[in-house]
Amino acid sequence: MATGPRGSSPAGGRPRLPWTLERRLLVLIAGLLVAISAVIGVATVLLFHASSVERLDASLRAASSRATAAAGPGIPDDPRATVLEFLRIPGQPDGTLGGLVFGADATVVAGVIAQGEIAEPGPAASAALAEVAPDREPHTITAGALGAYRALAVESQVGVRVVLALPLGDVTAQTTQLAVTVAVVAAGGILVALWAGTLLVRRALAPLGRVTETAQAVSELPLDRGDVDLDERVAVDDPRTEVGRLGTAFNRMLGHVASALSAREQSERKVRRFVADASHELRTPLASIRGYAELTRLHGGELPEDVRHAIGRIESETVRMTELVEDLLLLARLDEGRELVHAEVDLGALVADAVADAQVAGPDHDWEVSVPERPVLVTGDEPRLRQVLGNLLANARVHTPAGTAVAATLTADASSATITVADDGPGIDPGVRDTLFERFARGDSSRSRRAGSTGLGLAIVRAVVEAHDGEVSVESEPGRTVFTVRLPVEAPAPADTGARASSEDAEPATTAGAARAAAAESGAGD
């Protein structure tokens, strides 16, 4: 039969409590207390019952001796009178049952003391007396409605048995009362012990709880990036105890982790500084190489064809290397928390302009844009957000074949603005989807990459979006790939009425975005 996860209950039932260490210890303590109390209680009750029966048997032997002496030897002339005589001997307790058994047919003459008077015990009691063996040993009998008795029979030389029985009712009542008392006292003792045990266990496990709280606090720290301040430590009361040794080992581990993270951050900071400095220093010689290449190409004299080709290749590769250096410099500065200028940005105009630029760069694709009629304002760096849109649209253009439909959509709600760039291309290889936003990551060749790529475009997208406190994600399957960017909005945005435009209407949408920007500027001027 299938079962749910540990701590869960069957379908439709109440969830079961988890078996925590505290609960297990309390259950173990309760089980031990119940077992010990049960053993002690049963032993006490049994010993009390046995000693009470022994005392009753001693009284029975003394009473039997008095009854035998009162009955005398031989068969009495009046058995009834003889029974009454030894039953009336002083000291016989209420409920004493006695009788004579004689004759070949085991005739029984019996009587019972009831509230100081001698009464007939009834046929069941008489039959029980007749069955007592004359071995001078006490036996337990049931005398009908009178209950249980301890009986002893003595046989005279002439075939007469004198049988005397004392009731077990008092012994049974006392034993029952003792059992109830022991059970109540044991139950109360167990409850008190559990209450005290709970306090002691919780106090003993409190250091373990502090270890858990510290571990929970450490688990919530962002340890994957930045300078980590790992000051959390466990307060250790006694390092000689098990929990104390655990806390000491945990603190030592946190110290090693803090040292490792600090060394990692220093190393990454040096790498970022090196990349930023190297990228900055490379821009000047690259610009010089490109300038000299252009100067040579613009020279009035006639150059050989192979020289012109080589200079053209130098110029194009210089442009490509300059773009790579600029991207590396941007990423390095974003890693250091720089390079962003926060201002009010209209995402609607930004999306419309980006699609218009992409349509010019990729006329062999079908472009579509959808933005709200009213402005969607965010606080951010407009050039960097424009670069995000440009990289996403360029990614869709470069990695999909001609004729692919690419749609850019902007929606907004009260808390965030969402930009999606979707295409109906061949999709992204699942093997590279998880590393798509890493630096120098490249898509699968099935996305028809026809132009060179540095592998930094999507890394810049993620870095810029996260620097704006947003998030970016991708979903892809054959025939549909969607990149989604979510940014926090500056204020609650109006409902999205969605003015969709086809590829032929992309330019009017751009014009409308420019008009909204111009109106905003004129309004600010007023």
Domain containing 321 — which CATH number?
Answer: 1.10.287.130
- Kindly tell me if the per-residue pLDDT of 274 is higher than 60: yes
Residue 59 within a domain: yes
The answer to whether the CB of 246 falls within 8 A of the CB of 211 is yes
Whether 360 and 332 map to the same domain: the answer is no
pLDDT average, residue stretch 98-122: 77
- What's the start-to-end Cα distance of the chain, in Å? 76
Name the domain boundary from 308, 338, 368.
338
Whether 390 and 503 map to the same domain: the answer is yes
pLDDT average, residue stretch 340-354: 84
pLDDT average, residue stretch 19-32: 84
Whether 267 and 288 map to the same domain: the answer is yes
- Report the percentage of the chain scoring pLDDT > 90: 8
- Kindly tell me if the per-residue pLDDT of 502 is higher than 50: no
Closest by CA position to 392, among listed 372, 364, 367:
367
Give the β-pairing of 343-346 and 366-371: unpaired
pLDDT average, residue stretch 335-340: 62
- Kindly tell me if the per-residue pLDDT of 39 is higher than 70: yes
Mean pLDDT rounded to a whole number for the chain: 76
pLDDT attached to residue 515: 35
- Kindly tell me if the per-residue pLDDT of 379 is higher than 50: yes
Lookup: tokens for 36: 């010990």
pLDDT-based confidence at residue 157 (cuts at 50, 70, 90)? low
Lookup: tokens for 199: 């306090």
Residue 423 within a domain: yes
Whether 160 and 279 map to the same domain: the answer is no
Alpha-carbon span 12 to 107, nearest angstrom: 72
Name the domain boundary from 173, 194, 224.
173
pLDDT-based confidence at residue 519 (cuts at 50, 70, 90)? very low
- Report the percentage of the chain scoring pLDDT > 70: 72
Task: Give the chain's domain count.
Answer: 3
Q: Domain of 464: which CATH number? A: 3.30.565.10
pTM of whole model > 0.75? no
Name the domain boundary from 305, 338, 371.
338
Residue 218 within a domain: no
Whether 480 and 510 map to the same domain: the answer is yes
Residue 168 within a domain: yes
pLDDT average, residue stretch 360-364: 87
Top-ranked range on mean pLDDT: pick from 68-77, 142-151, 240-249, 253-262: 142-151
Domain that holds residue 274: 234-338
pLDDT attached to residue 46: 93
Alpha-carbon span 458 to 463, nearest angstrom: 9
pLDDT-based confidence at residue 184 (cuts at 50, 70, 90)? very high
- Kindly tell me if the per-residue pLDDT of 109 is higher than 90: no
pLDDT attached to residue 328: 67
Predicted confidence (pLDDT) per residue in 47-94, tens digit: 999 999 999 888 888 888 877 777 666 666 666 777 777 777 777 777
Whether 385 and 366 map to the same domain: the answer is yes
Whether 358 and 505 map to the same domain: the answer is yes
Q: Please name the residues in contact with 105: beta carbons below 8 A apart, sequence gap of 6 or more.
A: none
pLDDT attached to residue 464: 82
pLDDT attached to residue 234: 76
Task: Report phi then psi at 418, rounded to 5.
Answer: -125, 125
Residue 496 within a domain: yes
Alpha-carbon span 279 to 324, nearest angstrom: 9
Predicted confidence (pLDDT) per residue in 402-427, tens digit: 888 999 998 888 888 899 999 988 88
Amino acid symbol at 136: R
Predicted confidence (pLDDT) per residue in 169-182, tens digit: 889 899 999 999 99
167-173 long-range Cβ contacts below 8 angstroms, 24+ apart: 167/93, 167/95, 167/96, 167/97, 168/53, 168/56, 168/140, 169/95, 171/49, 171/52, 171/53, 171/56, 172/148
pLDDT attached to residue 185: 92
- Kindly tell me if the per-residue pLDDT of 450 is higher than 70: no
Whether 259 and 388 map to the same domain: the answer is no
pLDDT attached to residue 208: 78
pLDDT attached to residue 22: 78
Dihedral sign from CA coordinates of 489, 493, 495, 496: negative
Q: Please name the residues in contact with 85: beta carbons below 8 A apart, sequence gap of 6 or more.
A: 70, 71
pLDDT-based confidence at residue 505 (cuts at 50, 70, 90)? very low
Closest by CA position to 64, among listed 150, 162, 185, 193:
162
Whether 373 and 469 map to the same domain: the answer is yes
The answer to whether the CB of 290 falls within 8 A of the CB of 261 is no
Whether 353 and 328 map to the same domain: the answer is no
Q: Which residue in this structure is represented by tokens 């690259």?
A: 286
